[in-house]
Structure 1
Amino acid sequence: MAFTMQINAQHGRLFLWVPVCLSIGIGIYFSIRFEPAAGLIQIIGGACVILGLVAVLRWRSGNAVILRVVFLIILGFLLAVFRTHSVAEPVLGWRYYGPIEGTVMGIDRSNSNKPRVILKNVDLGKISKPRTPTYIRVSFHSNVGLQHLIPGAHIRTIGSVSPPSGPVEPGGFDFQMYAWFKRLGAVGYSRKPVELVKPPDLNTYSLKLFDLRMRISDHIRSRIKGQTGTFAAAILTGDRSTIDPDILQDLRDSNLAHLLAISGLHMGLLVGFCFALVRYGFALIPYVALKWPTKKIGAVVAVFAGFAYLQISGAAVATERAFIMVTVMLVGVIMDKPVITLRAVALAATILLVLHPESLSQPGFQMSFAATTALVASFEFLKHQTYWQRLQFGRNRFVQPIIALVISSFIAGAATAPFAAYHFNQIAQYGLLANLSSVPVMGMLVMPAAVLAGVLSVIGLDAIPFWIMGVGIDWILGSAHWVAGLNGSVMAVPQGQVGVLPLIGFGAVFFILWKGYLRWVGVGICCFAFTLWTQTERPVVLISDTGRLLGILHNGERALNRSKGSGFAASVWLENDGDRKGQEIAAFRSDGFSDVMKINLYNKEIGYVWPKSTPITDIENICSQVDILIAPNLKDKLSAGCFQITKPYLRYQGAVALTLSGQSIHIKTARQVTGERLWNTWWLRKRADKS
């Protein structure tokens, strides 16, 4: 009876739970360790249809809510299944070295700050067309011929590409899954010159748009010099190909990296300025102001401005998400409905989850909707408070915007902090200070000047707006550098358990959406999740998927066996440990490590043999003396009784983690966490192609 009363109390708020239920279904699909067979999917689909019909027929019954919840969860699961199969493209089956040809479809920079391109219409020498990936990504370590990296150009080089790799440690970021939904079938590098095979042929809409983006970027950088112009190009066209890594680090350490990513803030500021410009511009004409629906006209113009910005900025998922959110709100203006409500946020989240279910696991989606939901809920609460209402009148009305800025910056920072800590292993402790000094400049100076520059560039009068924009960006970059340089500006955070973040997200959403005393259950869920986080223990031993890199945790610090090579895995391991030191320092801790060694670890002997030339008899001898043998270049199984981590083992299982469990050592592999899925198992892709 009490539960029924609680359900009835949610009347009018049930729609807010639609994206939550879809997310549960999507999360279930991506967390299971097997790929559902076609027969199972058909059974689930049939059950979904039946549940949907029953929920409609029994709309007003007491069990209808439960039926709808189950229906939406199953629907989310099926949406994820459909999306996963719909983006299927060939994935390279092995490492390839040789000639590489393709059409340039995208340009950015790698983590090592090297030019990087996305290629389509790929030709990989003797590899047959059916086995050739549709898209590959190649980084260039030679400066010869880089002038040919232009939109639509068909280029040739010699390089090495491989299938996308799995997580660098069990439970870590799954690049194979990320690449699958990006339709990347191979990634690699080239140290050879780039040759132009065919000049640019802009024969598709996407290529023409890509070329326009690059031209706009070049124009911006010609008007605003240096890294200031690079930042301006990045926030307007999404082109980060020339941005300085030190500036990126300053923005991350000061919690201002969101200003560089074209997301809700940029879209909201640009669309809001266009809306205000049209509406108040028409207000200057008395006849138009009295006879025309200027508010609705402004909303329509703002939607088109937002769509243009979406196209020019590259239509990334984060920008698409922002466009959907502002469009939903502007449609509310056109239809004379409340604009900024939780229903609008829920509708935007639902649309995005239907279009891109995989975005649920992405930091941008999580942080964007965490901030937006927390802000809308907080200001919905404040608008009903007497003290807040008093600030809207008299002299206090000038104080309210300042207080609102402080509150919104604090709430957005607090809402996104757990997600930033989990995904990026750090918390910017002075992020509130940096945002208070920079976000107003972004809203009142940079984005309005960008809109004016875009309008006036048609007649060649964009110099002054671009100068104003540059002044604002200089202030932002200066603030980021100053805050990042403060003592203790960044706090390193060790990685939490896999289930911690979903628990925090669900607990927070439950607290915000539920009406009644049961909402406090959400706070309990969050507290439980944070407790689990603090009790997370890092693996004692980490082994990369190639076996070349080994990391031993001792006295809270991880020692690495190599100072160079496998740099990405090394950096991720250290970040997940909450260690901001570099690979060279971590390697300095490994006194006594070698390519052939034995390590005593909590009364367990671990052997490591790297050289290919090591005689098999020596390896057999080491195996007989240890409990676990790591021999990454050994292809055959030994007769000795130790547990053997060999080349075939690593090829299938991926990265390995050894953790303590009482007096014993527990072995966990990346494959055990991810399971056999379409994006990491070739025979499942082959079976899916046949079906």
Structure 2
Amino acid sequence: MAAFDSETILKSDTKPPPKRGVPKVVRKKGTSGGPSQRIEFAPLEQSISDALYHRQYVVLVPFALIFGISIYRWVAIEPNIWASLCVLVVLAAITLWQTSRGQSWQLPGLVTSVWLGFCLIAGSAHFYGTKLVSYPFAVDQLKGEVVSKSNNASGHLRLEIAQPSGDSKLSGVAGLRLTIKPEHLPEELTVGVGDQVVVRARILPLPKPVYPKSYDSQFHGFFDGIGGYASSLAPLQFIPNQDFSLFRSVDQLRWQIGDRLAVYLSAQQEGIARALIIGDQSGIEDALRESIANAGLAHVLAISGLHLTLVVGSVFFLIRFIVVQFARRDGLVKPIAAIGAMVVAVGYLMISGGNLATQRAT
């Protein structure tokens, strides 16, 4: 009974917190004697304050960053990155100063977030942007270092080379996407990441959008460091890199896994397995790709959250099942399983080619 009374007292003394920024129903006596209703809305200032002071502020920050990125697209000239960073520092200082004085910092914080988005895209353009090739031309000896490679179904080898040289027109171009025809590939040795390649090639500019607001390969190529396309006109020559490189070792492991799959699987099974394990979709035939797309499963071929969840989740529970048999302290089971799963996630990211969807999922 005492417990019941104390609980009743606590409930009676506890009042719900007042709600802010919501419509308020006010009842007043009408002229006819009956009650009438009218709705009074909270002031606009109070509503904005609620949106900024509560958890909605966390939602507003990403939109502020996106708005800052959009501002960069609207600017007709390339902004100076160092002046933009100075403005960012000033805005951040104003926000901290407002916070130290106990005043509202949400509005300056949103303005700082908008300018941070602007600086992010401007910084990417400054540090990762590249000069674009303007017109086609041929180079007798195109030289460059291989940074990535892939194959396609027709047997062409696609390379991305950094710091291309061999012609003054390539000055300022950070990289090229080079396609090697099957008849120009070396017979015995294979090209790897970090090797120096030399080939006679034809250089082509990146195509413009087919129609307004469509995919802009020049825009994406600029930020990816790809200034143009190139195709081989003569057999490829390359100088293997003998120095140890983690990226080169991972690249070799990727293609060794692909070669092992070719031994034990059929052509169609190999193409799908290579796409799901090492991120290489070049072995999938067009008819099979169309069938997969018609079935609504085209997204399965791109390594993303589904694949990471299956692989890393399975490893997590497997390690946890094994460790729980030997661990003397229960508090060590989950951390060990989590660390092992994270290691597998990073390893899967590396052998899968590390595309954007896999990076996001990891």
The TM-score normalised by the length of structure 1 is 0.42
Using a 3 Å threshold, how does the CA distance of structure 1 residues 21 and 121 change in structure 2: closer, same or farther?
closer
Using a 3 Å threshold, how does the CA distance of structure 1 residues 163 and 51 change in structure 2: closer, same or farther?
farther
Name the CA distance, whole Å, in 2 between partners of 1:81 and 1:132: 18
| Residues 1:280 and 2:321 aligned together | yes
Using a 3 Å threshold, how does the CA distance of structure 1 residues 37 and 291 change in structure 2: closer, same or farther?
closer
Structure 1, residues 469-500: CA drift from partner, whole Å, max 9, x if none?
xxxxxxxxxxxxxxxxxxxxxxxxxxxxxxxx
Name the CA distance, whole Å, in 2 between partners of 1:207 and 1:39: 35
Name the CA distance, whole Å, in 2 between partners of 1:21 and 1:45: 14
Q: CA deviation at 1:277?
A: 0.9
5+ residue gaps, structure 1, are 324-691
Match of 1:133 in 2: 173
Structure 1, residues 661-689: CA drift from partner, whole Å, max 9, x if none?
xxxxxxxxxxxxxxxxxxxxxxxxxxxxx
Superposition pairs for residues 91-102 of structure 1, below 5 Å? 91-99=132-140, 100-102=142-144
Structure 1, residues 430-479: CA drift from partner, whole Å, max 9, x if none?
xxxxxxxxxxxxxxxxxxxxxxxxxxxxxxxxxxxxxxxxxxxxxxxxxx
Single out whichever of 50-59 and 70-79 deviates more from structure 2: 50-59
Question: After TM superposition, which residue ranges in structure 1, 4 or more long, deviate above 6 angstroms?
Answer: 110-113
Structure scoring higher RCO (CA < 8 A, sep ≥ 6) equals: 1
Q: CA deviation at 1:137?
A: 0.9
Match of 2:336 in 1: 297
Structure 1, residues 153-177: CA drift from partner, whole Å, max 9, x if none?
4443322112323322222211112
Number of aligned residue pairs: 316
Structure 1, residues 617-669: CA drift from partner, whole Å, max 9, x if none?
xxxxxxxxxxxxxxxxxxxxxxxxxxxxxxxxxxxxxxxxxxxxxxxxxxxxx
Q: Is the 8 A contact 2:185 2:235 kept in 1?
A: yes
Structure 1, residues 299-318: CA drift from partner, whole Å, max 9, x if none?
11111111111112122222
| Amino acid paired to 1:301 | G
Match of 2:10 in 1: none
| Residues 1:11 and 2:50 aligned together | no
Task: Report SS of the residue matched to 1:255.
Answer: coil
Structure 1, residues 61-102: CA drift from partner, whole Å, max 9, x if none?
3xx333322221111111111122111344445422132233
Using a 3 Å threshold, how does the CA distance of structure 1 residues 213 and 39 change in structure 2: closer, same or farther?
closer
Match of 2:147 in 1: 105
5+ residue gaps, structure 2, are 1-41
- Alignment partner for residue 265 of structure 1, among 303, 306, 315? 306
Using a 3 Å threshold, how does the CA distance of structure 1 residues 243 and 266 change in structure 2: closer, same or farther?
same
Superposition pairs for residues 249-264 of structure 1, below 5 Å? 249-264=290-305
Name the CA distance, whole Å, in 1 between partners of 2:43 and 2:132: 54
Superposition pairs for residues 171-186 of structure 1, below 5 Å? 171-186=213-228
| Residues 1:143 and 2:186 aligned together | no
Name the CA distance, whole Å, in 1 between partners of 2:285 and 2:163: 31
Q: Is the 8 A contact 1:156 1:196 kept in 2?
A: yes
Q: Is the 8 A contact 2:157 2:182 kept in 1?
A: no
Superposition pairs for residues 676-687 of structure 1, below 5 Å? none
Q: Is the 8 A contact 2:208 2:216 kept in 1?
A: yes
Larger Rg: 2
Superposition pairs for residues 112-131 of structure 1, below 5 Å? 114-120=156-162, 122-124=164-166, 126-127=167-168, 131=171
Match of 2:273 in 1: 232
Q: Is the 8 A contact 1:102 1:154 kept in 2?
A: yes
Using a 3 Å threshold, how does the CA distance of structure 1 residues 291 and 265 change in structure 2: closer, same or farther?
closer
Q: Is the 8 A contact 2:138 2:201 kept in 1?
A: yes
Structure 1, residues 124-143: CA drift from partner, whole Å, max 9, x if none?
3x4377x0633211223453
The TM-score normalised by the length of structure 2 is 0.75
Match of 2:198 in 1: 156
Identity %: 24
- Alignment partner for residue 45 of structure 1, among 73, 83, 88? 88
**Could you say what the CA RMSD is over the residues aligned between the two structures, in angstroms?**
3.0
Using a 3 Å threshold, how does the CA distance of structure 1 residues 41 and 142 change in structure 2: closer, same or farther?
same
Match of 2:348 in 1: 309
Task: Report SS of the residue matched to 2:183.
Answer: coil
Name the CA distance, whole Å, in 2 between partners of 1:83 and 1:44: 17
Task: Report SS of the residue matched to 2:237.
Answer: strand
Match of 1:399 in 2: none
Match of 1:600 in 2: none
Name the CA distance, whole Å, in 1 between partners of 2:81 and 2:203: 32
Match of 2:282 in 1: 241
Q: CA deviation at 1:256?
A: 1.6
